[in-house]
Structure 1
């Protein structure tokens, strides 16, 4: 976990949403790509909210930690 705010599942949901965003915003997005992106983003938000509530954490802090961990992860 990243600084006790995230979980591996939250990080994977965010990665999935970013991949869906990339597909939807590509030069030639596949059919249904925007729906897939919207659904993936909604899953991230729901999971972040549920995790924050369950662990009694600030929801915004959890979301920011998830985004930072995924978007600014060191290159492998």
Structure 2
């Protein structure tokens, strides 16, 4: 699967959700915002929702180290 070019707002939403998850305070509005943005992105891109969601989580939760 090719790398997915995520919009900055979708990455920011997933980062917010991940922070809330780690702090034990994920809210329904945050989860819903991520869900809706992800659904819109997959509809527009034609990519598999599963592939997009897994790639987004991987990018936010396990970022690759920046090149020196």
Greater than 3 Å deviation, 4+ residue runs: none
Q: Which consecutive residues of structure 2, in runs of 5 or more, have no partner in the other structure? A: none
Asked which structure has the greater CA Rg, the reply is 1
**Residue 49 of structure 1: aligned partner:** 39
Q: Which consecutive residues of structure 1, in runs of 5 or more, have no partner in the other structure? A: 26-32
TM-score computed with the length of structure 2 as normaliser? 0.76
2-side partners of 1:38 and 1:22: how far apart?
A: 15
* Aligned pairs, number: 65
Q: CA RMSD in A?
A: 2.1
